[in-house]
Amino acid sequence: MVLFLSFWVAVLSLYGCGDGGGGNSGESLPKWTIIVFMNDSNSISRELAGIDVYEMRRVGSSKHVNILLQRCSVTGEGMVRYFVGEGNLELLETLPQASPTSPETLLSFVNWCIENYSAEKYMLILWERDHPDIWSGLVEWDALLKVFSSFSSAIDLLVLDSSAKAEIELFDEVKNEVSFIVALQGVMPDDGFDYEKVFQKLVGNPSMGAIDVGKSFISNFKELYSNRNDVAISLISMAKLPTLLSYLDALGKELIDYQDSFSLWGVIAQTQSYFINAGEPLNFRDLYDFCEKLKDLKLSEEANNAIEGLKSSIKDAVLSEWHADDGVFSSSRGISAYISSLSGKEETYGGFAIVNDAQNWYDFLKERLTGL
């Protein structure tokens, strides 16, 4: 009997009782795999990226947190792939044909990380600097985000480490593949986030959920840039996007029929606008502030209901938000949208997912704002 009991104790200790983990040799999966994809193709961005990479190395991977990095080669041709250790970078692969602006390159890297460094949760950081304006950034990043549907696993937290990417058009591209997004409405300062502090917090407490990690990015940003007047950052829940888009669609339907173009453009002009560089067209505006300003117009009951529904859904979607109260983006509430004429941009905008998910809003931009 003693031998029989000893046998089953050994079997149970070998196979465990099902704690939800995975991995090899009966070990549970790491809590997080952090995937960092950097577009640092010129000398200025490469220097700035180097500072952030140094901060990541100061922490490095642990038993529970993997950090993988792909950045541009120092030669300027192709990209290189690293495992980020504590105080070092382990070169994993050289990719001479890879491009940081190629959707296929991003797809290959993410799926490689998921296959070789499986974890309970995944964070993807898309790092970039130096877009000349918000529109060009939207177009380029829209192409990158379209490959998310081909990822081998959903992304728990997406961090858009770049200027002015908190746009409903970009969010809509990944709402089914991403749980939460950290993004800026305003300008990303050259120094970006302090990755040492953010990663140290996660490595020290790897059981953190995606919302708490996202909020740590927000608080870190606030701590760093409380003296800047051109910053605005938010944490968005993608689960709330379908409701938000439905109200945006309803609002678009009502605004198509609003005939006072002069008053409408007056409201748009007063709505919080965004820019990366001085002098660029002010085509992107805060969606919540737009709703607030629309209350000055004499709209139908249906339009006012859509406005209130849209405001409420924005509040639900924005889990955390910070901006400089006395800054140039002081009326920010977390989500931007293209609210302007589509003249010269119809074909490009027509390829965005929002055209199907909020068709009446697209028709409003195309029929009421374009050509006036």
Q: Are 213 and 298 within one domain?
A: no
In angstroms, the first-to-last Cα distance of the chain is 90
pLDDT digits (tens, 9 = 90+) for 83-95: 999 999 999 999 9
Exposed/middle/buried for residue 344 (C-beta within 10 Å: 0-12, 13-18, 19+): exposed
Q: Kindly give the parts of the chain with pLDDT less than 50.
A: 1-26
Tell me the CA distances in angstroms from 21 to 204, 310, 370, one per residue in order.
20, 40, 54
Residue 7 lies in a domain: no
- Among 240, 264, 284, the domain-final residue is 240
CATH number at residue 147: 3.40.50.11970
The residue type found at 62 is S
Does 131 share its domain with 182?
A: yes
DSSP 120: S
Q: Are residues 313 and 339 in the same domain?
A: yes
Pairing assessment for the beta strands 32-39 and 121-128 based on DSSP bridges: parallel
d(Cα 29, Cα 70) in Å, to the nearest integer? 22
SS3 257: coil
Strand partners, 36: 69, 125
Residue 60 and residue 36 in one domain: yes
Q: Tell me which residue has tokens 């919080």.
A: 272
Tell me if 11 is assigned to some domain: no
Q: What is the pLDDT of residue 43?
A: 86
Q: Which of 128, 183, 154 is nearest to 320 (CA)?
A: 183
- Same domain membership, residue 115 and residue 41: yes
Helices (H), 18-133: 43-59, 103-116
The pTM assigned to this predicted structure is: 0.92
Alpha carbon distance 117, 54 (integer Å):
22
Residues 179-192: tens digit of each pLDDT: 999 999 999 999 99
**Degrees, nearest 5: CA angle 130-51-153:** 75
139, part of any domain: yes
Residues 257 and 233 in one domain: no
Backbone angles phi, psi at 127, to 5 degrees: -110, 130
Asked if residue 19 is part of any domain, the answer here is no
Q: What are the backbone angles phi and psi of residue 319, rounded to the nearest 5°?
A: -80, -25
Which of 212, 240, 268 delimits the end of a domain? 240
Residue 290 lies in a domain: yes
Domain stops at, among 222, 240, 258: 240
Residue 20 located in a structural domain:
no
Same domain? 209 vs 334: no
pLDDT at 283: 97
Enter the tokens of residue 155. Answer: 């992304």
Total structural domains within the chain: 2
Note down the domain range covering 331: 242-317+327-369
One domain, residues 75 and 221: yes
Report pLDDT for 372: 53
Indicate if 68 and 134 belong to the same structural domain: yes
Residues 203 and 221 placed together within one structural domain of the fold: yes
Helix axis angle, 195-204 relative to 210-225, nearest 10°? 150
Per-residue confidence (pLDDT) for residue 216, from 0 to 100: 98
Strands 232-237 and 155-161: unpaired
Q: Is residue 344 part of a domain?
A: yes
Do residues 223 and 255 both lie within one domain? no
Q: What is the pLDDT of residue 14?
A: 35
Residue 199 shares a structural domain with residue 251: no
CB atoms within 10 A of CB 315: 15
Residue 198 domain flag: yes
Beta strands in the chain (DSSP E): 32-39, 65-72, 79-85, 88-95, 121-128, 155-161, 178-184, 232-237, 284-286, 318-323, 336-338
Question: How crowded is the C-beta side of 53, counted as CA atoms within 13 Å?
Answer: 24
What is the token pair recorded at 168?
């409903």
